[in-house]
Structure 1
Amino acid sequence: MSGDELNLRVDAVTTQTRRFKSLIGEFFRLEFKRARPKWGPYEVCIEIERASATSSQDVDNVAKAVLDALTGVVFHDGSQVERLLVTKIEGERPRISVTARPMKEVRILEDA
């Protein structure tokens, strides 16, 4: 945790989403006992790194497991996530990196 931003790296990936969700949830319950979820809009970035020999995970299943695990720890409800970026890359080992932070106001300028 750095201020309101959470950075997390999980050095394992499983194709069993339920197992993954329970592992991350248990980690949060043990390591973030004093963390209080906050209200307001959030953005979450998830990077799924996989070795070339490992089976591929569905990005939507991994994202759902991560968001469910963050609920009640970082934010109160998954509906607070207004921006979600999930990227799958090939790397040296199976791993998932997560960054969750309050949204900053983003303004889109229209062409005049």
Structure 2
Amino acid sequence: MTGDELNLRVDALTTQTRRFKALIGDFFRLEFKRVRPKWGPYEVVIQIERCENSPVHDVDNVAKAVLDALTGVVFHDDSQVERLLVTKVMGERPRISVTARPMASAKVSEIA
């Protein structure tokens, strides 16, 4: 956590979206006990890294699992997310990187 911005990297992927959601949710409940969810609009950026032999994930399923895990920790409800960017790239190892921040501190970027 940096101010109101959350940066998270999960160095693992599982083919079971429910398991992934539970793992992230448990992590937040244990590590961020004193963090209170906030109101207002949010931007969430998710990058899914995969290797040649790693399982293929649907970006919408990963996004749903991440947003569900952040609900009640970062924001009160995932309906507060007004901007969501999910990308899937080839990388060094299977992992997911997540940035969640209030829209007031989010920089607007144009996608060409």
The alignment's TM-score, normalised by the length of structure 2, stands at 0.92
The alignment's TM-score, normalised by the length of structure 1, stands at 0.92
Mark the runs of 5 or more structure 2 residues left unpaired by the alignment: none
Task: Tell me what 1:95 maps to.
Answer: 95
Task: State the alpha-carbon separation in 2 of the partners of residues 21 and 55 from structure 1.
Answer: 16
Task: State the alpha-carbon separation in 1 of the partners of residues 16 and 69 from structure 2.
Answer: 15
Mark the runs of 5 or more structure 1 residues left unpaired by the alignment: 108-112
Q: Which consecutive aligned stretches of 4+ in structure 1 deviate over 4 angstroms post-superposition?
A: none
Task: State the alpha-carbon separation in 2 of the partners of residues 96 and 10 from structure 1.
Answer: 5
Task: Tell me what 1:68 maps to.
Answer: 68
Task: Tell me what 1:30 maps to.
Answer: 30
Task: State the alpha-carbon separation in 2 of the partners of residues 33 and 8 from structure 1.
Answer: 16
Structure 2 CA distance for partners of 1:13 and 1:38, relative to 1, 3 Å: same
Task: State the alpha-carbon separation in 2 of the partners of residues 89 and 4 from structure 1.
Answer: 27
Q: Determine what percentage of the aligned residue pairs are the same residue.
A: 80
Note the alpha carbon deviations across 1:58-86, whole angstroms, 9 max, x for none: 00000000000000000000000000000
Structure with bigger gyration radius: 1
Task: State the alpha-carbon separation in 2 of the partners of residues 43 and 30 from structure 1.
Answer: 24
Alignment length, in residue pairs?
Answer: 107
| SS of aligned partner of 2:86 | strand
Structure 1 position 54, deviation (Å): 1.0
